[in-house]
Each structure stands twice: as structure tokens, then as C-alpha cells.
Amino acid sequence: MSVPTAMRIVEELIAMNMVHDIGFGKETRVGRPRSLLEFNGSSFAVIGIDLGGTKMLGGIANLTGQVQKEICLPSYPNRPEENLNQLIDLIEQLLASPRPEGQEVLGVGIGTPGITLAAEGVVTWAPSLGWRDFPLAKLLKERFHIPIFIENDVNLAALGELNFGAGIGVKNLVCIAVGTGIGSGVIIGGLLYRGANQAAGEIGYMAPGIDYLNRRYEGFGALESLASGTGIRERACAYFQHNENEQCVSDLNAEDVFQAARMGEEWAKQIVDDTLNYLALAITNIACLLNPDMIILGGGVSRSADMLIEPILKRIEGVIPYVPRLVASPLGNRAALLGAITLVLNDILDYSVVNPHS
């Protein structure tokens, strides 16, 4: 980059109040003391929202990644209007939350659990929310009159990991979220890869074997029907029903199954073992196709990472030529919120990648 180009960019950032002058550095033997600049992340904020199948988590954070306020509200399976109204209420609460004087909200980044046309702001299909061809960005812009950015939720989490989490300094990674469903966000060469139909990373639709071909999957895909939190719960319920056991209560979840496996319950150990096999197959295929430096496990099921990472690595060792680093997300449910910062800045600054740590 030439000196004039660097100076022009710096002048633009100063005009936007993104960076500010903090005085002069130490004197050198020759020339004038150098003026020092600092990233002014606290002067602006971004609202990030992660829409899940059972809850929506929202937060407002400054540009350094410091979360100033978080709010969690329930979402409603397959109730599209109620989910929109709940989202509007969440944004209103976050906009009304206390923040430093003069701090401007640059925009709202929203991660949706399904296929999303990011440029158009349209949710093509989010089965857990009941949204199909849903013009979410248009509806929210009409309501709030601030920039609204829509992205697949795991793509947003991948951006969060790239800039604030396990992926700092990594150029090629895949972030897999195992929660109500299963999805992944793909970063290639430091850039988010969306695919021809903006459906890259929809690994929940992977077929984990030939028995899953010649079928139609209108809602959740084959892999997530087996290895997501929902799939794990349903397989546990199927076991109890087959054995005429009433233990499958309404609040049973995947975490309960993993805990039962830790305690030596044979039925749970079998379900967890099958889940590990399904996830290992998916990770094997991803590693062979993309050869990423790192694969990050996130989502609710990743809270049981102690029972996932080593067994999966053991299953794929020797099967593929290069085994990527497999790690649990250090950001947890904040990954998408922090990814929203990158999403909003990328558009406002018109840069491909903005990394506050570089």
C-alpha cells in the first residue's frame, strides 16, 4: 500500500471518528516525533442478534467487542408473526438500554437459522421460525430507520470467531454450530464464503449414509435430524417409547442425554456414540473438501465438548490425510453477537474484512 493511499484511508477513518489522534510518540534521532493513532471503538456500538429455534439472544457491543447489554427472549417454533414481534421488541429494548454519552449505533446485524439472501435481506427458509421468503430487513428498516443486516446465524458466528475468538490469525476455518439444528460458516482466505445460492455451509442437509438418499427433507435435513440437539432428544424419546418407559419428559434435552452418558447410562452412551459417528462423518467430509486450518464447534451441544472433540479426532485419525485443529468455541452464545460487529463494519467501511486485533 502506498503512503498516499494509507494517508487517505486514515483521513477517512478520522473523519468517521473511527480512529483518533492520541499525541506524539517518543522522539527519534532524525525527523519529527510520530503522531500516534488509536482505534476509537467505544464511540460506536452495534446491535447483534442471534435468532435460535427456542430463544433469541441480543446484545449491544462497542467496536472493540465489549458487550454493554445482553437480553434473551424466547422464540416460538413455527409462529412467524409472533417471532417478528418478539424480534422488534428485543431491538427496541436494546436501543433503549443505557450506553455512553454520544455513542452512535451503527446498525443491527441479525443471524437467522436458515438460508438467507444477505444482499436482499430476505430469509429464504428458516424452519424453526416459520419464515419462508421473509423480507426481514425491509420490515425492520421501515420500523427503525437504521441500517439492518441479515446473515445466516452460523456465518455470523464464524465472523465472530475469526475476529474475536478461536480464529484470530486463522485464514481458513469452518465454524460448526450444533444446536436446535446443525449449520456451519465457512471462511476461506479470511473471507466469508456463501456459495452460489448463499447456502454454503448448510451441512444439516448432509446425507450421513446411502440410507438417507431418495427422500425429501422439507424441514430439518438428514444430519440434523440425527445429531442436532433436537435429533438427540428425539432419538432418546424413541428409545423410551420403544421400551414403554415414561421417562421422556417434555423438558428432556441433549445436555441431559450427555449427562446421563457421563453417569454410565447405557441408553445414553449409545445415543452419544451414534452422535459422535455422525458428526465425525461430517467433519471428515468438510476436512477433505476444504482443508481448513481449524474447525470450531459451537452451539448448545458444544457445552459437552469434553465428550466430543477427542472421540471425534480419534475416529478420523488416519482416515483423512490432514486432520484440522478441532476446538470448542471460546465465545459460546456470544459468537454471533460479535460477528455482527464485523458484518456491520464490513458494509459501512466497504472493506472485505475488518479485524480490530490487526
Mean pLDDT per 10-residue section of the chain, whose length is 358 residues: 82 79 64 74 90 89 90 90 96 94 91 90 90 95 94 94 94 94 94 90 92 88 92 88 65 87 94 96 96 94 87 95 95 90 79 41
User: Same domain, yes or no, for 100 and 203?
Assistant: no
The DSSP bridge pattern shows strands 35-39 and 44-51 to be unpaired
Amino acid at 323: V
Give the sign of the dihedral formed by CA 337, CA 338, CA 339, CA 345.
Answer: positive
Cβ contact 17:43 at 8 Å: yes
User: Same domain, yes or no, for 196 and 268?
Assistant: yes
User: Same domain, yes or no, for 114 and 257?
Assistant: no
Structure confidence at residue 244 (pLDDT): 63
Structurally, how many domains does the chain consist of?
2
User: Same domain, yes or no, for 319 and 343?
Assistant: no
User: Same domain, yes or no, for 197 and 276?
Assistant: yes
User: Same domain, yes or no, for 322 and 175?
Assistant: yes
pLDDT digits (tens, 9 = 90+) for 224-250: 999 999 899 999 888 887 776 655 556
Cβ contact 232:275 at 8 Å: yes
* CA 209/CA 207 separation, integer angstroms: 5
In a domain, 31, yes or no: no
User: Same domain, yes or no, for 126 and 201?
Assistant: no
**Triad 161, 285, 187: Cα angle to 5°:** 25
* CA 94/CA 140 separation, integer angstroms: 14
266-290 helix and 254-262 helix, angle to the nearest 10 degrees: 110
In a domain, 5, yes or no: no
Structure confidence at residue 52 (pLDDT): 83
In a domain, 6, yes or no: no
The DSSP bridge pattern shows strands 294-298 and 122-126 to be unpaired
Q: Which domain holds residue 218?
A: 169-330
User: Same domain, yes or no, for 222 and 239?
Assistant: yes
Structure confidence at residue 354 (pLDDT): 39
Distances (CA, A) of 121 to 107, 197, 203, 277: 14, 14, 22, 36
The full 3-state SS of 121-134, as one line of letters, equals CEEEEECCCCEEEE
Q: Among residues 181, 184, 51, which one has the least CA distance to residue 111?
A: 51
DSSP state, residue 203: G
In a domain, 28, yes or no: no
* CA 142/CA 136 separation, integer angstroms: 10
User: Same domain, yes or no, for 261 and 193?
Assistant: yes
Q: Among residues 122, 48, 134, which one has the least CA distance to residue 91?
A: 48
Structure confidence at residue 358 (pLDDT): 39
Give the helix/strand (H/E) hosting 143. Answer: helix 136-144
User: Same domain, yes or no, for 204 and 315?
Assistant: yes
Supply the CATH number for residue 138's domain. Answer: 3.30.420.40
In a domain, 20, yes or no: no
For residue 234, the SS3 value is helix
Give the sign of the dihedral formed by CA 160, CA 322, CA 305, CA 201.
Answer: positive
Q: Among residues 25, 16, 103, 119, which one has the least CA distance to residue 354?
A: 16
Structure confidence at residue 18 (pLDDT): 77
In a domain, 66, yes or no: yes
**Per DSSP, which regions of the chain are E strands?**
19-24, 35-39, 44-51, 55-62, 67-74, 104-112, 115-117, 122-126, 131-134, 148-152, 173-178, 182-188, 191-193, 294-298, 325-328
Within 8 A by CB and 6+ apart from 266, the residues are none
User: Same domain, yes or no, for 145 and 201?
Assistant: no
User: Same domain, yes or no, for 56 and 93?
Assistant: yes
Structure confidence at residue 231 (pLDDT): 92
In a domain, 11, yes or no: no
The dihedral over CA atoms of 88, 90, 95, 97, expressed in degrees to the nearest 10, equals 160
Supply φ then ψ for residue 212, to 5 degrees: -100, 10
Strand pairing partners for 298? 177
In a domain, 2, yes or no: no
Cβ contact 257:128 at 8 Å: no
